[in-house]
Each structure stands twice: as structure tokens, then as C-alpha cells.
Structure 1
Amino acid sequence: MSIPSPSPDADRYWLRRFAPIWIGQVFSLFGSGLAHFALIWWLTQTTGSAVVLATASLFGLLPQVLLGPFAGALVDRWNRRRVMMLADSAIAMATLGLVILFAFERAQPWHVYVVLFLRSLGNAFHWPAMQASTSLMVPERHLSRIAGANQALNGLINIAAPPIGAFLLALWPLPHILAIDILTALIAVNLLWLVHIPQPQRTDAESAVTPRLVVRDVRDGLRYIAAWPGLLAILLMATLINFLLNPAFALLPLLVTRHFRGEAIHLGWLESGYGIGVVLGGLLLSVWGGFRRKLWTSMTGLFATGLGAMGMGFLPPSAYPIALGLMFWLGIANPITNGPLFALVQARVAPEMQGRVFTVIHSLASAMTPLGMLFAGPIADWLGLQTWYIIGGLGCSAMSLIALFWPVTANLESQPLSKVASAEPSS
């Protein structure tokens, strides 16, 4: 297998072909952000139950954790443009069903659970298809810039969607807000009609898709990762980062109330500071593009993340303004860390394996949030809330230095593509 390289003309006009897909995702992600906020707010007002909100989060998480690798195997086998179109359409249809239930005042919390599950299942197919398509349409030297733009977009939506959603809920009934999500999904689907997404060649592309074949594809994807020590190290590192950092952010409300003696507004300012930092960090990466070696850019961001987290762990109760600055710092470091890491995987992993690789990364990273909380909660109660920030910060900074000087990861980017491709197991 050889990884195809675009012709000079294809390289020249890549942005013209990629822009419709990206613009479609701007609409789709914004609509999804509005819908998610509206549904969570409805559950909050209707039930006032923490158990209900936790259950909703679980239903929105499980498909991508448990089914992600199988979705990735299908993405690597199916036409990726059709996968994205069908995923967006299925999400819109599920939301339409909820609109009808709300319109007839028949909606119950369990209906919302089901729709959150279906939306998450659709995203389990759409996200790896989008990531795997990007590497086939964007020249390698621009992958970090696109990753930075994606990070900025996600940060901007996280900032804008909640207040816009709250404003619209004050004007319109809930079904109208959900209808916006359906409309934005249809815009994304129609824009996908305008582009051609290259499809990787497979020797078994004509084989009938059966459960046994999908399981074999998943097994081949895991073997591909295991046979490539550098990729396996990156996967384990991404998993450990989420294990260390996600619980720290989950503990932020307690840090505000117990340590800084703050109110809801103080938590809001910290979250806004982080979100603004993510947007600016993503824009910085999209303009700058990072260092010539993506690993150095990513590990610089990870080292900065570790310093910021440790700083949060050592702040006295009177240092809330410094905490605000550190959250802004952490926000900037987030896309600098994640963007080049995604670009590195896109540039080095064989195109026909990317769906599986990305979903394995995403599934393991998502699973680390609840697992990390199992450890972080007792440790925070035993040794203090700030202890986990110090642990997470030290872990991230140490990992960044190890990755830069450990030959397995340090040489990952300079490995010839032909050697990378040879890591794929035979079918």
C-alpha cells in the first residue's frame, strides 16, 4: 500500500474543495450546541435532578466509548462523504422526532435520553469520517492550521452556544430551538454534495460487510497501532492526558466555592476565560502553523498545560485573579497541544486505517473522564482539592519532556511513509 500524494494542481486548489465541508461543519456544530444546551436546560427545569443530568451525560457518552472502534472500522470501509451525510441526516431525523413529541407535549426525559444516544451514535460515525477525510484533502503542511481552526471553532461554539441558546429560549419554545439544529444539519448535508472526497484504495473493498468482517477490521486496527510503537505511545499519552486533566476541570466548581470562596459568577468567569483562550490559541495555530515538527509544537503546548495546572494547584485562596489568568493560559495551550497531535496522526497513519485509529483514540480518551473521577474524587477529599491539579500538571509536563527525548516518539515524524505503511497488517 502506498499513501497517495496530491498533484501540484490539487495542492493549489485544496482550500476551494475543502471549504464547503468546513463551512458545513460550522453550521452543524453551532446547531448541535444550541440543541444540547436547550435539552439539558429542559431536563434541569423539568426534573431538577442531578441523577437525571448524569444519566443524560452517560447516554451522550456511551456510544462513542463502546461503539467508536466499530464505527471507525465501517468508516474505513464505506464512502466517507456518504457516511457524513447519513450521520448528519440521521441526527436531524432523531431531533425531528423529539420536536414532534414536544409539539404535542408528550416528551419525557427518557425520550431525551434516546435522542442524546442517537445523536452521539451519529457523531461516532461523523467525527472519524471528517478527520480521515481531512488528511486526504488538505496538504500535510497545512494540517496543523486546519486543526487550529477546528479548535478555535469548537471553543467559539462552547462560548457562544449557551448564551445564545438561553436568549432564544426566552423568545421561542423549545421545538423552535431544535428546529434550528435540523436546519443547520441539512445545510451541512447539502454542502457535502458540492465536494468530492477521495477514498483510500482497499484490496477487499468489494467484500460484503458482515459482523465478522467488522470485528476483523477492528482487530486489524488494534494490531496496526500495537505494531507501531510510536503511534501506540501517542495513543497512551493522549489517554493519560485525559485521565489527568478532565477530572481537574470537573472539580473546578468545588475549587471556586471551597477554596476561592466564590459564587456562580466566579465559576462563569473562569470558564469564559478558558473558552476565550481556546479560541485565541486555535487562531494562533491556524495562522502560525506551529514549528516545522508537529511533535515539538504539541509538546510545547502540553508542557505549558502542565505549568498552568500546577499553578492552579499552588494558588492561595486570595489569588482568584491569577486563577483567571491561568485558565486563559490553559485555554491557549489546549489547541496548541491537541491540534498538531491530530495533524501528526493524519499525516502519518495510512488513510485506510485512520477511521479506526481516530476512534480508538477518541474512545479511550472519552472513557478516561469517568475513570479519572473515580480516583480524583477520593484523592481530592483526602489530600485537598488542589492536589489533583498538581498531580495532573506534573504528569503533563513530564510526559511532554519524555515524548521529546524518547526515540520511540521523538523519531515518529521523521519516519519514512513507506515504513509507516508497512506497519499495517495484511488482510
Structure 2
Amino acid sequence: MFKERNFLFLWLGQVVSIFGGRFSELVIPWMVLQITHSPMKAALVAISTQIAPLFLSLPAGVIIEQRSKKKTAMYAEFIRTVTMTLLVIIIMAEKFNLFLIMTILLVTGLAGLFFRIAFHSLLPMVAGRNHLVDVHNYMEGADAISTLIGPVLAGIALSKMGAAATLGIDAFSFFLSFISLMLITVTNRDLRNNNEPLWSKELFNQGVEGIKMLFSTRIQRFITLNHLVLHFITHSITLLVIILAKQNLELSASQTGILLSGAGVGNIIGIFMMKLLKNAHWNLLYGTLLLCSSCGIIIVSFSANLWFAFIGMLLFDGALSMAFVINGAARQMVTPNQFLARVSSGGLLLTGIVVIFANGFAGSVAEWINPVSALLICSCILFLNSCISYRQKQLNRSVASFSVDTK
């Protein structure tokens, strides 16, 4: 895949973009906790990035179907560069204002919504539908590399340089992603019909149709359920681990970065394991991965020091990253090219709702009870979904042979 120039630039852009995201992922909630001492306020800041997907996912997907995926992704990355730079300036001026920060992150989330839909619609065009499992595995590899290195460097940078300089790295990463998108070439398949209006009742109906497609068959319904579970767990655990590290384990920013990098180690192991397990049966492999991830959360919950928690994060995210690869590839395999954008936008609408709930759940339970209780609830959710996965007889076939048959 890396011999293909377009895919290489897409992949490199993802590496730097996710790498920078790992900086803000640690710095922003850490900064809010440092100033307010409130997990719930940290959760509200995280929720602000999901408001745009909640309201605009449906029209965004249909609009992107009509327009160049490459240009849409480029414009989105440029906007994210500007908004993150503005956030850096505000922090440098020591003008901390929770509402202002949430507003900036709302705009950043809107740009991120358009980027994700356009980017995922580009993947089959650039790499071909026959390589989707490998493509998603390589993209998970981009996440793994960034998650391995990013949190450690973010923790060190936060300790040594402060929040503003650390977030500046995130802003620069969006700019590099913008450059990488400029360097790819896409055929006219990237453009459907640029003469249609930006918004109409028909476009709204097409967006609603994207949601209906997510539940149109038994396989689609199962993939959708697991898509939502994976995102709920990922966003809940990310915030809960930062809260646990700061308030329960009393780790420093650099130590918290090391803890979060355990997820990156697990991701890298998962990439190599995925290569070996492509012929495993879908339901058995997926159920086992969720079970392993559940056990990782339990280890984190009862860890008394950094390194036991590190092992738990390795197991949790290594298994979960493989589950993301399987689920994401299955979604694109059962969806025709012409409907990828609207299905992606429908998925993002549902994801936005789930992520808002996940951050609210993590912040409220951590503040009103304790973060360990919230972690154990997440573990139970994965365990139950693992049991459901084992019982899906229609998915009792190899991951590699999963075809476009949606019946």
C-alpha cells in the first residue's frame, strides 16, 4: 500500500494529525482539571467538540457527496489549524475562559466533522475496495504510532513548556495534514454533482436515508451497535484515565503521558496481530477482542501504580484497536461507494450523541462517585457486548472473506 503515492500521503497526514491530537487530548482536560478541579467541567469541554456532529452530520454528508472530498478535507484541516492557533493565543494571554474555549472547540469539532466524512469517503477511492481491511489496519497503525509517541511527548512538553506551546504542536500538525492532502491526486469520481444546492429538503431526506441504511439489514444493525459501543468506551476511558491519573494515582503530567502511551504500545501489537488473524471468524475474533479489552479496563481500575495501569491500557487499547479495524472495514464493505458519505455522516450523528453521553457519564460519575466505578461500568458493557458477538451466527465467517453481501 505504501508504494501507492496517494495512499502514502493520506497515511502520513493522518499520522501527524492524530499525533497532534494526542497533545490536545491530554493538555485540554489536564488544564481544565488544574484550574477548576472539576471532572464535570472537563467533560463539558470535551462535549463541546461533539455539538457540531450532533446537529450537522446529516447535511454534511450529503453536501460532501456533491463536492470534492479532497478539497473538503483540505478546507477542514485549514480551519482546524486556525482555531487551534487561536486557542494557543488565548492561553498565552492567560485569558482562561471556559465558555470561550468551548466555543473554539465547537468550531474545531465542526471542521473535524467535515474532515472525517471526506477522509473516510476518500479511502476506497484511493486504495480500492479490495484492500479495505488492510487500509483500516494501516490507518489504525497511524493511530498506534501517534498514540505511542504523542502522549509521552505531550506530557513532557506540558511539564517543560506549558499548555500554550504544547497545543501549538497540535495546530502545526493540522497544517502538515493540510499539506499532505494538497499532494494527493484524485480522479473525477471524487466529484458527484457540484450544481446541486447546498441545502434543500431533498438533501435532508437523503441524510435521513443514510441513517436508515445503518439499520437496513441485520449485519448493518450489528455493525452500528458495535460502532456506538466502541466510541462510547473509547471516549469514556480516555477522560476517566486522565482523571484517575491526576486525582487517584496523583501522577504528574509526564507520567500521565506515559500511561496513555500504553494504548499506543497495544495498538502496535494489535496491528501485527491483525495481519495474522484475518482468517479468524468475525464473531469469535470480535467477541474475544472485546473480552480482552474489558479485562484491560479492570487492570487499570485496580492499579496502585503507573506500570500496572500501563499494562492495563496496553491490553485495553490493543484489543479495542483491532475491534475498530474489523468493524470499520465491515461497514465500508457492506456500503456501496455512492452512499459512503451519507452513511458516514449518519454514523457520525449517532456517534456524536454517544460521545456526548460518554463524556457526560465519565465526568459525572467520576465527580459524584469515583472514576473507578465508571471504569468498571465500561468493563461490564464490553463484557456484555462480547457475549452478544459470540451469538451472531450470521457473522461466523472469516474477516477476510466478508463481502458486500448485506443480507
TM normalised by structure 1 equals 0.76
State yes or no: 1:305 paired with 2:290: yes
Shift of residue 267 of structure 1? 8.0
* Aligned-residue offset at 1:57: 1.1
Q: CA deviation at 1:330?
A: 2.6
Q: CA deviation at 1:119?
A: 1.1
2:75 to 48, 63, 86: 86
Match of 2:117 among 111, 128, 144: 128
1:291 aligns with 2:278: yes
Q: Tell me which residue corresponds to 1:5.
A: none
Q: How does 1:186-205 map to 2 (within 5 A)?
A: 186-198=175-187, 200=189
Compared CA separation, residues 47 and 387, structure 1 to 2 (3 A): closer
Q: Does 1:360 align with 2:346?
A: yes
1:158-193 Cα offsets, whole Å, 9 max, x none, are: 343333234334554654444433333222222222
Please, which of 335, 339, 355 is the counterpart of residue 349 of structure 1?
A: 335
Deviations 1:52-111 (A, max 9, x none): 322211112222333333322222222100111000011112223334444555553322
Judged with a 3 Å threshold, the aligned counterparts in structure 2 of structure 1 residues 290 and 46 are, in CA distance, closer, same or farther, namely same
* Counterparts of 2:302 and 2:24, CA distance in 1: 37
Q: Which moved more, 1:53-62 or 1:170-179?
A: 170-179
CA contact (8 A) 1:147 1:342 kept: yes
CA, structure 1 residues 250+202, in 2 after alignment: closer, same or farther (shift >3 Å)? closer
Structure 2, gaps ≥5 residues long: none
In structure 2, C-alpha distance between the alignment counterparts of 1:218 and 1:30, rounded to whole Å: 31
2: CA distance, partners of 1:151 / 1:223: 27
1:209 corresponds to which letter in structure 2? L
Query: Which structure 1 segments of 5+ residues have no match?
Result: 1-11
Higher mean Cα deviation, 133-142 or 113-122?
133-142
Which residue of 38, 46, 58 maps to 2:47? 58
Structure 2 Cα separation of the partners of residues 390 and 32 of structure 1 = 25
SS of the equivalent of 2:60 reads helix
- Counterpart code for 2:343: V
Distance in 2 of aligned mates of 1:343 and 1:54: 30
State the alpha-carbon separation in 1 of the partners of residues 329 and 104 from structure 2.
32
The residue correspondences of 1:229-244 to structure 2 (distance < 5 A) are 229-242=218-231
Aligned pairs (5 A) from 1:181-220:
181-198=170-187, 200=189, 206-220=195-209
User: Where does residue 139 of structure 1 map in the other structure?
Assistant: 128
- Does residue 148 (structure 1) correspond to residue 134 (structure 2)? The answer is no
- Provide the C-alpha distance between the structure 1 equivalents of 2:69 and 2:189, rounded to a whole number of angstroms: 10
Amino acid in structure 2 at the alignment position of 1:388: I
Q: 1:39–1:112: 8 Å Cα contact kept in structure 2?
A: no
Equivalent-residue separation in structure 2 for 1:182 and 1:165 (angstroms): 13
Task: Confirm whether residue 338 of structure 1 aligns to residue 324 of structure 2.
Answer: yes
Deviations along 1:197-228, one digit per CA (max 9) or x if unpaired, are: 24548876532222424312202212333433
Task: Give runs of aligned pairs for residues 366-381 of structure 1, distance below 5 A.
Answer: 366-369=352-355, 371=357
1:145 CA drift (Å): 2.4
Matched, 1:402 2:383: no
Structure 1 residue 412 displacement after superposition = 10
- Asked if structure 1 preserves the Cα contact closer than 8 Å seen for 2:77 and 2:175, the reply is yes
**Contact 2:290–2:385 (CA under 8 A) maintained in structure 1:** yes
Aligned residue number for residue 103 of structure 2: 114
> Take 2:232 and 2:180, find their aligned partners in 1: how far apart are those partners?
37
Cα distance per residue 1:239-281 (max 9 Å; x no partner): 24555776577666899999xx966489877644344212321
Would the alpha carbon gap of residues 273 and 201 (structure 1) be closer, same or farther in structure 2, given more than 3 Å must change? closer
- Among 209, 216, 231, the alignment partner of 1:227 is 216
User: What is the letter of the counterpart of residue 394 of structure 2?
Assistant: W
**Counterpart amino acid of residue 269 in structure 2:** L
- 2: distance between equivalents of 1:323 and 1:168? 22
In the alignment, residue 341 of structure 2 is paired with which amino acid?
Answer: G
Per-residue deviation, 1:291? 1.7
> Which structure has the larger Rg?
1
Report SS of the residue matched to 1:90: helix
Report the CA distance between 1:304 and its aligned residue.
Answer: 3.0
How far has the Cα of 1:414 moved from its partner? 6.6
CA contact (8 A) 2:279 2:399 kept: no
| Cα distance between partner residues in 2 of 1:30 and 1:127 | 16
Q: 1:67 to 1:163 in 2, by over 3 A?
A: same
State the one-letter code of the partner of 1:302: G
In structure 2, distance between residues paired with 1:313 and 1:226: 32
Task: Give the number of aligned pairs.
Answer: 400
Amino acid at match of 2:181: L
Instruction: State how far apart, in whole Å, the 2-side matches of 1:366 and 1:159 are.
Output: 26
Verify: 1:67 aligned to 2:52, yes or no. no
Is the 1:89–1:189 contact (alpha carbons within 8 Å) kept by the matching residues of 2?
yes
Indicate conservation of the 8 Å contact 2:54/2:349, yes or no: yes
Bigger mean CA deviation after superposition, 368-377 or 64-73? 368-377
Q: CA RMSD in A?
A: 4.2
Taking the aligned partners of 2:296 and 2:25, their CA distance within structure 1 comes to 32
User: 1:112 offset after TM fit, Å?
Assistant: 1.6
- Deviation string 1:326-373 (CA, Å, 9 cap, x unpaired) is 543333211221112212222331112112222333432443355467
Identity percentage over the alignment? 16
